[in-house]
Homo-oligomer: A and B are copies of this chain.
Amino acid sequence: MDTDRALRIDAPHRELLDQVLDKWSLAVLDELCERPCRFNELRRAIPAVTQKSLTGTLRRLERNGVVAREVVSTRPVAVRYAITPLGKTLRHPVDVVLEWASEYMPAIESARSAFDVREGSTPDALA
C-alpha cells in the first residue's frame, strides 16, 4: 500500500530544497513576493544578511528560475530583482510549512524543554 507513500526523497529533490529553502531564500522570496526590489533594498529589508550571502542567494534563486534579475543601465546601474511565475508557485508550499511552524512552535518548544531536562543538558557549569 503506497497510498500513504507520497514521499520517497531522492538526491535531486533534496538538492532542490536545499537551494530554494535555505537560510536566506525564504526571506528573499518573501520580500520579492510583495514587490520587486533593488539589491540594497533587499539588504535593508533583511538586515541580518551579509552582502555576500545575499548575492549568493539571489544568484542561486535566479539560476533555479524563481527570481529574475534585470539590469537597468542608468548611472549608476540599478538592478531589479523580481519573483517569477515559477517563483510564485513556490509561495504556497512555503506558506504551508511556515504555518506548520507557527502552529506547532509552542509544542516543539515544550518538547525541547522536556528533552533538555530528561537528557542532562546543563551545558556548562558544574563540571
Contact = CB atoms under 8 A, between A and B. Distances in A.
Interface of A: 4-9, 12-14, 16-18, 21, 23, 26-27, 30, 33-34, 62-66, 86, 89-90, 92-105, 107-108, 110-112, 114-116, 119
Contact of A30 (B8, B63, B105, B110): B8
Q: For the complex, would chain A's binding face be called helix, strand, loop or mixed by DSSP majority?
A: helix
Nearest to A11: B48
Nearest to A114: B65
One complex includes copies of this chain to the number of: 2
A66 B101 CA distance: 12
Contact of A64 (B4, B5, B12, B108): B108
A21 B16 contact: no
A7 B97 contact: no
A105 B7 contact: no
B107 A100 contact: no
